Structure 1
């Protein structure tokens, strides 16, 4: 049983949620309507044959009555149980682009048959008759482009007796839910903050230290190590060894990156769903889905390089994920991203969230209002390097009325002016499309002016 949806651009991974088996006790098995009507017709025909003294007519009713009595006598006794097991992640397709959710529906019952109706997110799916004979496990597969908590599948199960002559009471709908973690697409190059922190890391800093490229050759001073003495330079500059010269290197440092997701907007490519009266189509990835995947990809790129990455949310005031490194930090960030969702009307912030000194800020937003742009401009004015990632999906304007087209045009022009103003204030903008990796590489190779220079306060 498969519930098709448009496959995502990259296969996400899945996190199982806890779910207890659903066991529903059943009442007595009842005859079906067809069996009841056939038995009544055969009994009426038998009575007519007896009253009219027509044995040939009465004989015609004997066989259906015997079969009905035999089927009713063989009615199963007991309860039908339904349990969802899983889900897990299936093998990807040959092109590696189809991520699928899988769950296993376990049906147990005393009857030989059962009717199973499977759906997802309120939509009808497969409706099949399966043979049980005690226990039957049915694989259920669903494709999704969404991330975060969602329904894998829901099922209605009803037991059927021999020859379909009796039915059990239908079980209440059983549902299996899971949390879909965003994918982590590889990125080759990513921008760095203007100032690096720490005494160890993968990037050469401007401070003198150890482990990096050659900085200069300097006369020996207290605190310099003897193994740093450059004897060739010493012999050339001070043949009488009155002064020693040491080689100084640039220290290695790490970058601190804070990912900021704007969860206040969760809009799809259809502008008619932005009002909230209509839900986005299940086959469309929303702006928040794109923000989750973009943030997960950027977090992986920095963490693979040995940098420290944190996560904050503009829409919800909760404790942020503190900057950290390592594989476990990536798991924390992906899990926090999967649980990010709009939670009512967000309170207006009087000041932007506090960030570590010299951190690179990456803001994932649709920039449909002034809040995210205002916060990004404040961070830039404070001296941080700020990269704004536009996660608004490609819009579908077909089927819009004239007034809806006019409203969309006004909103688009306002958004364009807002982003142009951000660019004038020094915020670097990237649109999350198929060429986002190329745009981030261009930012990584661009010379960044001194943080805060020329930025209005």
Structure 2
């Protein structure tokens, strides 16, 4: 390609200054050269028919040159409106072509997808819908657009320029959980659950003689008449009040292990291959599970917090309410592996009497070790296994033997957790396992006896 420069001689010396960077296509230059050569040969040889052949070619080039764009225009990529979830993720390509532009050739690409090319006719501003299918969640760099703006017959065009990609936050799919596991002890002055301490609630604790500080509305007249009625005087010697258990809320701490992000294909774990984008990886499963638990906790009127085992970042303190749930879900959507964190000397600090839900693949000892430390501190700990269903058909014999050792170590590690009174539940993001996940969560929600 030759650069189009209005300050140079030749064709550009006509006086129409063009923006530096606009180019003339080789095909257009070839046609113009052929037309000029035919015109010169026809004039020299006295052959009007030969000269007439070159005239249309020169006129076409001249028309494209004078009517073509003198600027590059604007092309930008925008995120789609609404909440993005796995499946189909949309975006918008906004074209603002300059005057004289007739076509825009685009090439749209996203990681893990084949690039798509299109030639668009533009006679004014235009919006083009973009769409990509993915099973991934979190922050994804999508919709890189390489574009070339051209004028009449592609006589002049811009060099290849890039718009995007844009960072699109994809939230996990919504999953409802029935029932909520509770910690062994409840704290707080009020809440939806009945605690073990006395206070203002609905469940009866006992009946006790009226004492200073008791409320009059708590007097049980039937019990008072049955126990202290004196038939001789017709009076009540003692008044009895009905004491109840106080209500309290539960504190749930979600801890996500972001150190691992492995896919179903074991051959991609070494880093030589990239996991397919149409399959959820372990971190996608962890985001889905943690978001579902957070929704269930907030819907029950309890408090929920969030921490990341892979980052030394300040955790999200436990709280309740819709706005806090949005804060938790946004933080979960942005959790991603970062470098290689150092091993923790002790488990992250969690609130007293909290239920700890740990989401991890348990491919090493770090997550299992901190879970056992939390259980030794009298916390109820639920270990959620987020490793997806694996495929090993692409492994070589040596890699397959190494995977079997890792699988054996992981099985022993999970069994030790169960023996340490840590409840282990498997979570899979596939639709067929939805009923199994709900059933397993209902089992965790059943009351149980606790040992310290």
Whether TM-score is above 0.5 comes out as: yes
Partners of 1:325 and 1:256 lie apart in 2 by 10
| Structure 1 residue 76: Cα displacement | 2.3
Could you say what secondary structure the match of 1:306 adopts? Answer: coil
> For 1:295-326, what per-residue CA distance to the aligned partner results, in whole angstroms no more than 9, with x for missing partners?
11101101111101111111111111111111
| Structure 1 residue 385: Cα displacement | 0.8
> For 1:236-271, what per-residue CA distance to the aligned partner results, in whole angstroms no more than 9, with x for missing partners?
111121111111222111101111111111111111
Q: How big is the alpha-carbon RMSD for the aligned residues of Structure 1 and Structure 2?
A: 2.1
Partners of 2:188 and 2:21 lie apart in 1 by 72
Match of 1:365 among 334, 337, 360: 360
Partners of 2:74 and 2:336 lie apart in 1 by 34
Partners of 1:307 and 1:26 lie apart in 2 by 62
| Structure 1 residue 52: Cα displacement | 4.5
Partners of 1:404 and 1:165 lie apart in 2 by 56
| Structure 1 residue 363: Cα displacement | 0.4
Partners of 2:48 and 2:124 lie apart in 1 by 43
Could you say what secondary structure the match of 1:196 adopts? Answer: coil
Partners of 2:112 and 2:422 lie apart in 1 by 42
Alignment of 1:149-188 (within 5 A): 149-188=139-178
User: Which residue pairs with 1:33 in the alignment?
Assistant: 26
Could you say what secondary structure the match of 1:186 adopts? Answer: coil
CA separation of 1:194 and 1:122: change in aligned 2, threshold 3 A:
closer
User: Which residue pairs with 1:8 in the alignment?
Assistant: none
Q: Is the 8 A contact 1:158 1:168 kept in 2?
A: yes
Mean CA deviation greater in 291-300 or 161-170? 161-170
- Number of aligned residue pairs: 423
| Structure 1 residue 146: Cα displacement | 1.8
User: Which residue pairs with 2:37 in the alignment?
Assistant: 44
Is residue 89 of structure 1 aligned with residue 90 of structure 2? no
Partners of 2:152 and 2:295 lie apart in 1 by 57
Mean CA deviation greater in 57-66 or 404-413? 57-66
Unmatched runs of 5 consecutive residues or more in structure 2: 1-17, 231-235, 429-433
Match of 1:65 among 49, 58, 69: 58
TM-score normalised according to structure 1 size: 0.87
TM-score normalised according to structure 2 size: 0.88
Could you say what secondary structure the match of 2:165 adopts? Answer: strand
Could you say what secondary structure the match of 2:62 adopts? Answer: helix
Match of 1:320 among 315, 321, 339: 315
Partners of 2:93 and 2:30 lie apart in 1 by 37
| Structure 1 residue 56: Cα displacement | 3.1
Greater relative contact order (CA < 8 Å, ≥ 6 in sequence): 1
Partners of 1:225 and 1:73 lie apart in 2 by 94
Could you say what secondary structure the match of 1:309 adopts? Answer: strand
User: Which residue pairs with 2:15 in the alignment?
Assistant: none
Match of 1:294 among 282, 289, 293: 289
Could you say what secondary structure the match of 2:346 adopts? Answer: coil
Task: Give the structure with higher Rg (CA).
Answer: 2
Q: Is the 8 A contact 2:386 2:426 kept in 1?
A: yes
User: Which residue pairs with 1:243 in the alignment?
Assistant: 238
CA separation of 1:451 and 1:317: change in aligned 2, threshold 3 A:
farther
User: Which residue pairs with 2:187 in the alignment?
Assistant: 197
> For 1:37-96, what per-residue CA distance to the aligned partner results, in whole angstroms no more than 9, with x for missing partners?
12222333334444544433333333323323332232222232222233323799xxxx
Unmatched runs of 5 consecutive residues or more in structure 1: 1-24, 453-457
CA separation of 1:228 and 1:122: change in aligned 2, threshold 3 A:
closer
Partners of 2:296 and 2:191 lie apart in 1 by 15
Match of 1:342 among 320, 328, 337: 337
Mean CA deviation greater in 47-56 or 195-204? 47-56
Mean CA deviation greater in 264-273 or 386-395? 264-273
Partners of 2:24 and 2:129 lie apart in 1 by 30
User: Which residue pairs with 2:97 in the alignment?
Assistant: 108
Match of 2:49 among 52, 56, 81: 56
Is residue 411 of structure 1 aligned with residue 400 of structure 2? no
Q: Is the 8 A contact 1:194 1:451 kept in 2?
A: no
User: Which residue pairs with 1:79 in the alignment?
Assistant: 72
Partners of 2:163 and 2:91 lie apart in 1 by 18
User: Which residue pairs with 2:382 in the alignment?
Assistant: 387
Q: Is the 8 A contact 2:360 2:385 kept in 1?
A: yes
